[in-house]
Structure 1
Amino acid sequence: MTGEQDGLVAQWWATAVSRVEPGVIELREHPIQDLIGTTTFVEMIWLLLRGELPGPQQARLLEAALVAGVDHGPQAPSIAAARMAATCGVGLNSAVATGVNLLGDVHGGAGQQCVELLTEITVRHGQGAAFDETVAEVVREWRSRSRYLPGFGHRIHPVDPRRDPLLALVDRAVADGLVDGAHLRAARGVETYLNRGRAGKKPVPMNIDGATAVIYAELGFAAPLARGLFVLSRSVGILAHAWEETGQGRRNKSPMPPSMIPVHLDASTPRR
């Protein structure tokens, strides 16, 4: 390859994220040796995505959202699939990839969708629309497209135990002037609207997707990155479950335990 061709290849793969040359590794223009031992993993995530290191409060708020989303038990499709894949002989990396690849619009996408919902409210309100009317209008529009409103209600928890700690951290961040609180206000406005007139009925509170969407939006992450950050978070739980399953000494090839499988289709029956 000629020098000119080398230059064309270098230009083709040029990126602001990293630079690697003999003896040099830079991430967002920071030498890797300066980051090792001084920078946390959460700070590295922020640095690579945003191009600069976060402040301590920003890093703590992002970390809280990532910690909250790591796992929600084997009933979650991504976890269940990873556990089954782990015993199918595909290797740990493929088992993790199996779980991650299930994080789509229906399972894993609600955080991104909720950021879009809250942003729509904040933009319209910022253009002079009355807040309560804007919330009602946007919610009606979303419900006309789907009976599910991303970020609110939960099929298991009456109140998601992750909700209050996360929102309390955002309240503190607003009080400290770290974030402006517009998306937090929008989320609480939606929650209030959804529960209006529901006295005596099951409430519809904000869930983990809504609370983390508030954090990601308040920190300035684009809506698609809300899903990407959730994938990073949940991959920790997927890895842990896949690894645990490899040590069970069994073949987990069905959503049902062997005792519930018909005799003619028991756990020893090869499955194609």
Structure 2
Amino acid sequence: MSTDADAIRHWWRTSIIEMEPGKIAFRGTPIEELIGNVSFPQMIWLMVRGGTPSEAEARLFEAALVAGVDHGPQAPSIAAARMASTCGLGLNNAIATGVNMLGDVHGGAGEQCAELYYDISRRLDEGTVLINAVQEGLDNWRSEYGKIVSGFGHRFHKPTDPRAPRLMALVRAAASEGTVSGRYADIGEAVQAELGRARGTPIAMNIDGATAVIFCELGFPSPLSRGLFCLSRSVGILAHSWEQMNQGGRNKGPMPPRFLPEYDPGDHSE
């Protein structure tokens, strides 16, 4: 017979952590056995999906996390954190401000790109050849999200995002060793080729497209492509927040004070 105590314990039930006085265990493994024996990427894997990755899987996973840590103050998440740091907020508030800038456009591209890759992969499983699966997947993507395909193209890095080729080389090496299948690397490169063909000029696979390849190869659901990018970018947000606090400055806005925004009277006619 259920009691009130049982109902209370059930309310926040979790398979992640077992905790009581003198005991902490993550997914059944005591914390003292994990400390010093697993890397931080392996711990992230254990927390979000359970199980422990192989050393080779963990290295590939870590590469994706390293690649996304920062893209400079022009990135909205970093800029917001730096501005917040000059407003009298604590470090945790500045970090939260930056993280809260990671939305569907800035930060969510990896999830959307992973959805595209998984859609194309399903079409391959149904017997569609790769080029047709890519074209069908892109048509489906555009009907839902529009003409800009997340994971490809970059406002600064043309024609190559320097992070993507290195990540893809690591995926190919991992595939040759049997760590991953290489299917999503094939899909990502086929999407890149098709987008370049359609527009008549090469297009970069960007950080979101490359990390989505890795997260798909490792079997992470598409929403975690966004979550893991946010986790990675939090490192850069922390670093920039701390740097700005040490540089000083008060109430820094998006432009130096000598620059004023353009006034556009618009059309106020009725």
Same topology, TM > 0.5:
yes
Counterpart of 2:52, as a letter, is L
CA contact (8 A) 1:83 1:252 kept: no
Matches within 5 A, 1:213-232: 213-232=212-231
1:267 alignment partner in structure 2 = none
SS of corresponding position for 2:195: helix
Deviation at 1:4, TM superposition (A): 4.1
* Structure 1 vs Structure 2 CA RMSD: 1.6
How many Å apart are 1:178 and its aligned residue?
Answer: 1.1
Identity %: 56
| 1:102 corresponds to | 101
Superposition deviation, residue 261 in structure 1: 4.6
Match of 2:78 in 1: 79
- Aligned residue in 2 for 1:37: 36
For structure 1, the residue ranges without an aligned partner over 5 or more in a row are 263-272
Corresponding position of 1:204? 203
Q: Aligned partners of 1:27 and 1:109: how far apart in 2?
A: 28
Which whole-Å CA distance do the structure 1 matches of 2:260 and 2:247 have between them? 19
Q: TM-score, normalised by structure 2?
A: 0.91
Whole-angstrom distance in 1 between the partners of 2:75 and 2:241: 13
Query: Aligned pair in 2 of structure 1 residues 100, 87: CA closer, same or farther (>3 Å)?
Result: same
Q: Is the 8 A contact 1:118 1:187 kept in 2?
A: yes
Answer yes or no: is the 8 Å Cα contact 1:19–1:29 preserved in 2.
Answer: yes
Mapped to 2, the partners of 1:130 and 1:53 lie a distance apart of: 34
Q: Which residue of 1 aligns with 2:267?
A: none
From the superposition, tell whether residues 197 and 228 of structure 1 become closer, same or farther in structure 2 (CA, over 3 Å).
closer
List alignment gaps of at least 5 residues for structure 2. Answer: 262-270
Moved over 4 A (4+): none
Deviates more, 1:96-105 or 1:127-136: 127-136
Choose 244-253 or 159-168, whichever is displaced more. Answer: 244-253
Partners of 1:246 and 1:93 in 2: CA distance? 12
1:83-162 equivalences under 5 Å are 83-144=82-143, 145-158=145-158, 159-162=160-163
The 1:100/1:197 distance shift into structure 2, 3 A limit, reads: closer
Is the contact between residue 163 and residue 206 of structure 1 (CA under 8 Å) also seen in structure 2?
Answer: yes
Give the whole-Å Cα distance in 2 for the aligned partners of 1:142 and 1:39.
Answer: 39
Q: What residue is the counterpart of 1:270 in the other structure?
A: none
Number of aligned positions between the proteins: 258
Task: Name the residue aligned to 2:194.
Answer: 193
1:218-257 aligned at under 5 Å gives the runs 218-257=217-256
Contact 1:17 1:27 in 2 (8 A): yes
Measure, in 2, the Cα distance between the counterparts of 1:179 and 1:37: 26
Distance across 1 between alignment mates of 2:198 and 2:42: 43
Matched, 1:6 2:8: no
Separation in structure 2 between the aligned mates of residue 231 and residue 212 of structure 1, nearest angstrom: 12
SS in 1 for 2:94: helix
CA distance in structure 2 between the partners assigned to 1:138 and 1:156 by the alignment: 26
Secondary structure at the aligned position of 2:25 is classed as: strand
SS of residue in 2 equivalent to 1:20: strand
229-238 vs 169-178, greater mean Cα deviation: 169-178
Task: Give how far 1:153 is off.
Answer: 0.7
Tell me by how many angstroms 1:198 deviates: 5.5
Q: Tell me, yes or no, if the aligned pair for 1:151 and 1:210 is still in contact at 8 Å.
A: yes
Per-residue CA distance 1:243-266 (angstroms, 9 max, x = gap) = 11111221143111133359xxxx
Paired residues of 1:57 and 1:178 also in contact (CA < 8 A): yes
Residue of structure 2 in register with 1:21 after alignment: 20
SS in 1 for 2:205: coil
